[in-house]
Structure 1
Amino acid sequence: MSLYEASFRVKHECPYREISERHPDLTIREWYLSDCQVVELTSPGTPASELLDEIDDLGTVLHRSVDESGLHVVTQSCLCSLEDSIIERFEKYNTLYQPPTVHRQGWEHYSVIAFDESDVRALLRDLEADRDIEVLSKTAITEQQIPHSMLAPVDQLFEDVTDRQLAALRLALESGYYEQPRKTSLRALAEQTAVARSTYEEHLRKAENKILTNAGQFLRLVTTTSTGDPLVVERNRQPEQRAD
């Protein structure tokens, strides 16, 4: 099976696009989380005061530095006002978004991966209906590794996992439960909490199940270009005949 990777850039009404157009040396990288955006802004040289004012209006500034290498700012803003998210369109056409979105000189740059080329074509046609779009590359990925830059969005991996399930999973991980050999037991883990062993185990198993289910699409992408099944190869390997 082949995978298809597409890179393209679009223009539409967006505060980040408008800022990058007014300040052509500015690069904006945008990550989507479950309920917010984290945005990194970088620019060489000393920034103009009007740029700093515009950045302050984007959201909560988490980090800001200006030195000989230029400007570096990290902000966080709410997603509640976003409508018709382009990320939702990626999901509609079964394409996997590769963060971050990069805004530069008035363009938004995106990369996606899909199992079927027809899904990529359908997505691009949809975007052409209400955005200026330029396709930068569209490539079949065969017999090679998935790009290491493709990171699974954290909010997708932990979707529907409750706080208690996350707490149970973190305790098990930090206590060495998943190491070989194990450094602790379910009973010992439960004794560190305020719940019964059966309740703790239920939280842990549900967390494991949800995370593995959410990671399924990324697992398929990582393994789909592999040649052969190593487990099948191992199972079919015949033991060597010992010489008499």
Structure 2
Amino acid sequence: MTITTEFCLSSPSLPLVSITERLPPDQVECVHGLCFEQDARMFIVKIDSEVNVSEADLEALNEVSEATTIGYAGEQTIHNLTIELDDSISQVFNGGSSAAAKLEPTIVTPDGWYEKKVYKDRNAFMESRTRCENYGISLDLISMTSTSAASDDALPFGLTERQYEALTLAFSRGYYESPRKTSTEELAEELSISQPSLSRLLRRGERQILSSALQSREYLNTVSS
């Protein structure tokens, strides 16, 4: 059973964050080889052409030792950057090629890296998360979805595994009682995620349940009668 995850990494040592902090773009798209080679120093970066970031602008950043403009793709300018990597980054991605596969390019923002990856199982993801934390990189989980084939044990209402886990915990701890017997901060601590991530899981899970229930044939027949 594979696990599809969406998460945000944040740390002062993450490469390329300085581009969005010191130069005009709010975010950049990045393709890198760290998941395949832990000391990879070549990064392909796509920046909106209207932002007008030059090779000189990129090379002025401390972490960029060389910048070459390759060309254009649609409305984006493609740059090949040679990056001076922090030792901790190389260690974090050590072994990543066997544990996970990237689904989409990394999105770099002032808050860090947004990534979407597939792990072979939950344990592989947790090992990756622990490795990040051990090297001072925070991992804020946004979503986790099982990609196994549907079965009799499929989760109800089309919920993801992580949404189901968060909703079940919240219900069992009295979050939905009046007055509430727990808080999102306490629930987030139990799941080892941030409070905003827990809130997003509950909100999306609640929306999914409501959407499934209100669109059911039984409900529609009742309304139309």
Normalized against structure 2, the TM-score is what? 0.49
For normalisation by structure 1, the TM-score amounts to 0.46
